[in-house]
Amino acid sequence: MKQFEGRVAVVTGAASGIGFSLASQFAAAGCGLVIADLESGPLDAAAVSLRREGAAVVAVPTDVSDSESVAALAEATESAFGRANILCNNAGVEGGEQFDRIPMATWEWVMAVDFWGVLHGCRSFLPLLRREEEAHIVNTGSLASFATGTPTMTPYVCAKFAVLALSESLEIELRAEDSPVRVSLLAPGPVRTRMTEAERNRPAHVPPTDASPARRQVLETLREATDASGHDPDEVAAMVLEAIREERFFVLPHPNEALAGLERRRLWMSENQPPPVRRPAAT
């Protein structure tokens, strides 16, 4: 897709972070926007900000874990613009503990948002996207799509692995049928967003998991890594737009770390050399 002027972009998780930066850059490139987020107040504020930039914006409160909510987002997009050219399945959460202490409700919440949300988006929007001469899906994975082993983050890692598998499979299938729809996987490492505060959106029935020493240590390490080497969300959004222009599947803001994760797996597979152990804090 060489040109964005006059196209329509849909972005979930758009009230802040990478999602807001994506929306802002699509707007600057001339796209109409449909922005979605679970947090209606910040979503409305994001819409006001984007309209000040001159963008045509429709804001739709959306729970991506709910297939009917995502279907309603697709309906709102068609009603407002009659089309969709770009879909960014970007909404995500993170919660966890040591494996045998992770409540089932936490597994269900993280998988529902991070994986099922992507699946719901692809299923609901493909009929719209297929009608266009050019269209693109961007699914937000993570460095965790390539590397396991971070203590307390197993639900997140499992979800992001699944996003990788879904995205690769869908891209291969669409190419095989000569579809105009392309797919990209965005796999960021540390980015200056509020991901370490994801439990602010934790449903009431999901127990908190951010109080244990192991969990606090992991979150603090992530914050330190973000402060030291985290990308600005605008940098990541610019990479996404460039990947759409170039029809590039992998969008890797931290390519060396992504390749290192694959190399650890290769060594494990070929030489029975497991990855180094990262031990959580004592509990």
Which pLDDT does position 193 carry in this prediction?
74
Confidence bin at 282 (pLDDT 50/70/90): very low
Report residue 36's pLDDT band, with 50, 70 and 90 as the boundaries: very high
Phi-psi map region of 235: left, alpha, beta (phi>0 left; psi -120 to 50 alpha): alpha
Query: Which amino acid, residue 206?
Result: V
In this structure, the dihedral spanned by the alpha carbons of residues 142, 121, 25 and 43, taken in order and rounded to 10 degrees, is -100
Give the mean model confidence (pLDDT) for residues 225-246: 90
Measured over the CA atoms of residue 166, residue 149, residue 222 and residue 239, the dihedral's sign is negative
Q: Report the range of poorest mean pLDDT among 103-107, 141-145, 276-280.
A: 276-280
Q: What is the average pLDDT score of the chain?
A: 92
Q: Which of 4, 81, 146, 156 is catalytic?
A: 156
Q: Where are the domains of the chain?
A: 8-271
Compute CA distances 106 → 67, 103, 109, 110, whole Å.
Answer: 19, 5, 5, 6
Per-residue pLDDT of 260-271, as tens digits, reads 999 999 999 999
Q: What pLDDT, on a 0 to 100 scale, did the predictor assign at position 283?
A: 42
Q: How do residues 154-179 score in pLDDT, each as one tens digit?
A: 999 999 999 999 999 999 999 999 99
pLDDT of the residue at 201 = 75
Point out the least confidently predicted range of 24-28, 39-43, 216-220, 276-280. 276-280
What separation in angstroms does the CA of 235 have from each of 19, 23, 32, 231? 12, 13, 21, 6
Location of structure tokens 């602010």: 200
Confidence of residue 122 (pLDDT cuts 50, 70, 90): very high
**Which architecture, in CATH terms, is 8-271?**
3-Layer(aba) Sandwich (3.40)
Counting residues of the chain whose pLDDT is more than 90, the rounded percentage is 77
With H, G, I as helix, E, B as strand and everything else as coil, classify residue 14: coil
Is the pLDDT at 248 greater than 70? The verdict is yes
Is 127 part of the annotated catalytic residue set?
A: no
| Rg of the Cα atoms in the chain | 18
Backbone phi and psi for residue 236, each to the nearest 5 degrees, phi listed first:
-65, -45
**Alpha-carbon distances of 148 from 210, 260, 264, rounded to whole Å:** 20, 12, 10
Q: Which range is least confidently modeled, 30-39, 91-100, 189-198, 248-257?
A: 189-198
Residue 150 or 183, more confident: 183
